[in-house]
Amino acid sequence: MTETTANPKQAFALDPMGKEAQDLAAQERITSPDQRARMAVQIESLDREGWVILPGLLSPEHLAALRTGMDELHKVTPFGRSPFEGENAQRIYGLMGKMPAVWELAAHPDVLAVVEGHLNDQIQLSSAASYSIFPGQAAQVLHEDDTYYRTGKPFPPISVSVAWPIDDYRQDNGATIVMPRSHKQPDYDNPGLPTTRAVTPAGSAILWDGSLWHAGGANNSDAIRRSIILTYNRGWLRQQENLYLSVPRDTVRQMPRVVQRLIGWWVVGATVGVVDGFSPLKTL
């Protein structure tokens, strides 16, 4: 072990852009190695199949609070503007600033352990929105979630989407359609593999790699199907949602530290995201 490895502050002082300093910075994760080891089976499944379900993470009381909060916001939320958004569906954007009950979902330790284990990097929240589909809503087109990062394929995993069913996901009410193992295709074309449905009770978390082909299913039932969709990406990528503007600073001040970090109030790799050379938290 070198002297600088034994002394991270010295490594950053000597060369913050150097491999040693950046390797050290990349190990500053939200979850611990033990937490990620405990979720090793789920991490391996996500890597192999492109998706995995973590069942039973939310209590009935938390689900009830989320339903109440969503239904209040639905009163002032328009229906979708396109077939993709869902013309008989509602999407509530900016949830991190509108529903504190979502913070616990965003920072759930089991979910973060799987996301960090899969991406093997520092992570952040890229977007937080709801997707509530009403009876009669047709299925989405199959798609990937990370095509706006036009780096050319293949590339290592760069994002993970997490759907939290707030109502049971069933075959008849629009359970997410997934195409297992489609996340490792060598280009941006649909590989045309067999699909299945992510059927699971409310309170589970459904995780999929950003390159997995998937879609929201059709709601052929007589009731609304509510869900919350959180997307995480590598910390040095631009977030899909501008969380710096969509979450008021007074709200940021009320958040637990891990949630502040997830929405971008931190420094990636000890150098990315600084304000006047220091952590953006100083501006709060």
Q: What is the pLDDT of residues 166-207, one digit of tens each?
A: 999 999 999 999 999 999 999 999 999 999 999 999 999 999
Domain count, the chain: 1
CA–CA distance, 58 with 229 (Å, rounded to integer): 15
Arithmetic mean of pLDDT over the chain: 93
The confidence score (pLDDT) of residue 6 equals 54
* Residue 26 located in a structural domain: no
* Residue 82 located in a structural domain: yes
Contacts of residue 162, Cβ cutoff 8 Å, sequence gap at least 6: 111, 115, 205, 206, 207, 229, 230, 231, 232
pTM: 0.93
How does residue 65 score in pLDDT terms, banded at 50, 70 and 90? very high
Least confident of 107-116, 209-218, 263-272: 263-272
* Residue 8 located in a structural domain: no
Q: Is the bond leading into 33 cis (omega within 30 degrees of zero)?
A: no
Phi/psi zone of residue 9: left (φ > 0), alpha (ψ -120 to 50 degrees), beta?
A: alpha
| CATH code of the domain in which 220 resides | 2.60.120.620
76 has a pLDDT exceeding 90: yes
* Residue 12 located in a structural domain: no
CA–CA distance, 103 with 91 (Å, rounded to integer): 18
* Residue 3 located in a structural domain: no
* Residue 149 located in a structural domain: yes
Range of the domain at 195: 32-268
* Residue 17 located in a structural domain: no
* Residue 275 located in a structural domain: no
93 has a pLDDT exceeding 70: yes
The confidence score (pLDDT) of residue 21 equals 81
| Chain segment 29-60, per-residue pLDDT in tens | 999 999 999 999 999 999 999 999 999 999 99
Percent of the chain surpassing pLDDT 70? 97
